[in-house]
Amino acid sequence: MKISLKNRKALVGGSTSGIGKAIAQQLAASGASVTLMARNEEKLRAMVSELPTSEGRHHQYLVVDFNDFTTYQEIITSYFKANSVDILVNNTQGPPSGGALEKNIKDYQQAFDLLFKTVVLTTELALHRMIENKWGRIINVASVSVKEPLAYLTLSNTIRAAVTTWAKTLATDVAQHQITVNNILTGYFDTERIHNLNEIKARQLKLPVSEVISALEDQVPMKRIGDPVEYGYLATFLASDHAAYLTGTNIPLDGGLLKSL
């Protein structure tokens, strides 16, 4: 099966590192024109220059901070006044770690703005042209923690669960327009985020980081952490015509980590 995204335009959040970067690279490798979104313009500029190009394709970037919703709203609204996309990958950095007793209402509001409001706003703006074109792909980067909450990620557990249930409702509403909406439930992947979380956990437990990583790998039936490249393959399939009848799903990509059905 060969996946071609020729003449498709994609918008990918958090796309200068980790999962977002791997998705953007694979979408571009499959023929899509990609708009990157992240905070660091230097990294964005370098990333754009690395993406494969061909006649008729144009890669670009937006400098955004998902933590600043007001400014993000201005930038993304302006973008969609002049652009449209066929493929939207909703992906942001995660909120700070911590248990439920460590967080207050302000923390939840900030996480809501970061993980939920940015996703809903961007999707709302992208949908106008998708509905006109009777074709669209919305892919939300979520987490296995929406099914089996992780005690140290209470903000992510809570708000990502809201995103996945919203996405299920949206999938039903837009299916008649041949638009699909799917969530990828992310397991443990080799990213800056997981390295930062492991360092925090190592300090709390007073253990070497290597022991924390080893324990993490041991939880996964495949006994390894995922490669972001593998994530890019799944996202690209979901973005393609081959996934036209797949919508409203939560797809775990976790090496078998989830124990629930």
Model confidence pLDDT, tens digit, residues 18-37: 999 999 999 999 999 999 99
DSSP label of 3: -
β-pair type (136-143, 87-90): parallel
What are the extents of the domains in the chain?
A: 9-189+227-253, 191-225
At residue 205, the pLDDT reads 83
At residue 116, the pLDDT reads 98
Low-confidence ranges of the chain (pLDDT < 50): none
| Nearest-angstrom CA–CA distance, 99 and 207 | 20
At residue 204, the pLDDT reads 85
Query: Which residue from 67, 7, 6, 9 is spatially nearest to 35, judged by alpha carbons?
Result: 9
At residue 200, the pLDDT reads 85
Q: Check 79, 152, 231, 245 and give the catalytic one.
A: 152
User: Catalytic site residue 188?
Assistant: no
At residue 85, the pLDDT reads 98
Distances (CA, A) of 86 to 8, 75, 126: 6, 19, 8
Domain 9-189+227-253, what fold? Rossmann fold (3.40.50)
Q: Which two tokens stand for residue 41?
A: 């313009």
At residue 196, the pLDDT reads 85
Question: Using an 8 Å Cβ cutoff, are 135 and 148 in contact?
Answer: no
pTM score of the predicted model? 0.95
At residue 31, the pLDDT reads 97
